[in-house]
Structure 1
Amino acid sequence: MSARPASARFTYGYGRSTQLASLVNAVLILMAAAVVIVEALQRLGRPVEMSTGPVAWAAAAGIVVNLLSARLFGHGHQHDLNRRAAVVHLLTDAAVSAAVLGSVLLVSLTGWTVLDSITAIGVGVAVAWSGWSLLKESLAVALDGVPREIDRQTVEATMLELPGVIEVHHLHIWGMSTSQNALTAHIIRTPGAGDDMALLHEAKRRLAALGIAHSTLQLEPPPSLHPADPPS
């Protein structure tokens, strides 16, 4: 859906669908963690016999499948919140499978079935922690917060280094999707400091190097050169 072109109504396209996907993913992770923790707490008082053989094989398969699936995303997932959420989900599932496998081995050696519930509680807490972190970041993106990988002060300093620029204001940075960032800003520049179009091209080039592919810049003269307001 995010790859669909922009339309007359959705002029930015459908990139924000990736933000919604990461938000839904975070909620599902938290729900799953809650179910695991509640079920484990209920079983503390009434341990259940385990079929250790099938559970161990299923856990081992879970480790292999989830790690291989996470590897398919490659190293570029760090720059996309939605893909990073999927990788976190897969790695969390692999960790859960590893914990289950360890628990099964201990239960088979000691006969302490209560270890299964204790392990499940630990796993549930770990999953809830990762889900909560993902939820906070997803909400920040949904509320047009500055993307985590962008340093606002660095962006402003980079623009102030441009020839003749004396001030940058109305600076806004947000994510158009989980992988594309946008910026708008007003730039006050000394008149006669150079070609304005060359400045804009250079500004866009430097912003793209910082991870901001879509930028809209407005040049302004110093306040002292603004035309006087007409008398009322």
Structure 2
Amino acid sequence: MSDHDHEHGPGGHAGHSHGVSADADRRWLSVALALIAAFMTVEVVVGIVAGSLALISDAAHMLTDAASIVLALIAMRLAARPARGGFTYGLKRAEILSAQANGLTLLLLSAWLAYEAVRRLIDPPPVAGGPMLVTALAGIAVNVVATWCISKANRTSLNVEGAYQHVLNDLFAFIGTAVAALLVVLTGFERADPIATLVVVALMVKAAYGLLRDSGRIFLEAAPADVDPDALGDRLVAQPDVVEVHDLHVWQITSGQAALSAHVLVEPGGDCHSVRRALEDVLRRDYGITHTTLQVDHAAEQVLQVALPGDRNATDDPGHCEAPHGPVHREEPHHH
């Protein structure tokens, strides 16, 4: 009961904008996808005809944009499915898998493009600047519209944020390509094309690093980036009647959805239920964590005197954890 009465309460700020807005998100992403896919096809053709690696690299980047949006759409569908069977959290991590896939494709493509660009810097092939310039300018327009579409969707999702970063990076890439094309047209400096490609590669690597870092934290069950578990434990143990907090785990099920579990020991005369409610209030109000599982027990008398967690006789309670995971947060004797 303690868990789910808060789950969708007013405190649940995390990705609970489901229903209508999830459909709207899907619509906006689909519009962006259609735009990008159509333009990408044109761009590959022009890139090959004009001999421009920068255009082909932009198209490759756009392919990952399209893939990131497709993955975002699939992951939204999967994540919206109710939890059942062996998947007790539902398929909410699908979007984190999608963010990982996005990051990896960006890295692989950037490696290939960097290699090609360096080859072209050493021995520049002829580039048709005119078609390259027109295509790059059209690309800027398409990306501005696509970026705007995705910005209308809910960007607290790591997945939608991934798609947004992709398309935004692409916008900068097109600006770089347009500048390079202008140089080719005005000065015939054909090395501007691979130089623009390397700028695109740098943007791709930066975006990939961000996605892999954030999704990796979630896979490794790290605490949310904005929560310090030690400070959180100290905060909980400072609440009235709380003697000790251990086995404190805080992790993310998916972006914007944190969960917490902990074992809490209360003064021998304290009211476990009111303490649990008070702790849940603190977590919901100050940390936005609404998915909590707190095991609240009375502390055995000895715990109040013995301070070593390793002592076998630290507690008489047979249900008490023999080997607490992580630090044990104890009330300082001079607190009250």
Same fold (TM over 0.5): yes
Amino acid aligned to 1:4: R
- Match of 1:227? 316
> Within 5 A, what are the aligned runs for 1:103-118?
103-118=180-195
Q: 2:151 aligns with which of 73, 93, 98?
A: 73
For the residue of structure 1 that corresponds to 2:123, the secondary structure is coil
The root-mean-square deviation of aligned C-alpha atoms, in Å, is: 2.2
- Match of 2:261? 184
Deviates more, 1:215-224 or 1:88-97: 215-224
Following superposition, the deviation at residue 113 of structure 1 comes to 0.3
Give the distance between the partners of 1:45 and 1:85, measured in 2 at CA. 34
> Within 5 A, what are the aligned runs for 1:54-73?
54-71=131-148, 72-73=150-151
Deviates more, 1:198-207 or 1:6-15: 198-207
Cα deviation code 1:154-213 (max 9, x no counterpart): 4223322322112211111111112311111111221333x3223222322322231322
Deviates more, 1:129-138 or 1:102-111: 129-138
Amino acid aligned to 2:275: L
> Within 5 A, what are the aligned runs for 1:1-232?
1-71=78-148, 72-74=150-152, 76-77=154-155, 79-193=156-270, 195-209=271-285, 210-223=287-300, 224=302, 226-227=315-316
Question: How many percent identity over aligned positions?
Answer: 31
* Gapped regions of structure 1 (runs ≥ 5): none
Alignment check: 8 A CA contact 1:19 1:177 kept:
yes
Following superposition, the deviation at residue 134 of structure 1 comes to 1.9
Aligned length, in residue pairs: 227
Alignment check: 8 A CA contact 2:173 2:199 kept:
no
Following superposition, the deviation at residue 58 of structure 1 comes to 2.3
Deviates more, 1:219-228 or 1:18-27: 219-228
Give the distance between the partners of 1:227 and 1:152, measured in 2 at CA. 28
Give the distance between the partners of 1:205 and 1:178, measured in 2 at CA. 22
Instruction: Specify whether residues 125 and 192 from structure 1 end up closer, same or farther in structure 2 by C-alpha distance, changes over 3 A only.
Output: same
Following superposition, the deviation at residue 37 of structure 1 comes to 0.8
Amino acid aligned to 2:284: A
Amino acid aligned to 2:206: W
Amino acid aligned to 1:198: S
For the residue of structure 2 that corresponds to 1:183, the secondary structure is strand
Following superposition, the deviation at residue 222 of structure 1 comes to 2.5
Following superposition, the deviation at residue 74 of structure 1 comes to 4.2
Alignment check: 8 A CA contact 1:150 1:211 kept:
no
Cα deviation code 1:21-59 (max 9, x no counterpart): 100010111122112211111212332332323322322
For the residue of structure 2 that corresponds to 1:176, the secondary structure is strand
Alignment check: 8 A CA contact 1:100 1:119 kept:
yes
Give the distance between the partners of 2:118 and 2:250, measured in 1 at CA. 45
Following superposition, the deviation at residue 217 of structure 1 comes to 0.5
Deviates more, 1:125-134 or 1:32-41: 125-134
Amino acid aligned to 1:28: T
Amino acid aligned to 1:227: D
Give the distance between the partners of 2:102 and 2:124, measured in 1 at CA. 31
- Match of 2:62? none
Alignment check: 8 A CA contact 1:70 1:91 kept:
yes
Instruction: Specify whether residues 220 and 101 from structure 1 end up closer, same or farther in structure 2 by C-alpha distance, changes over 3 A only.
Output: same
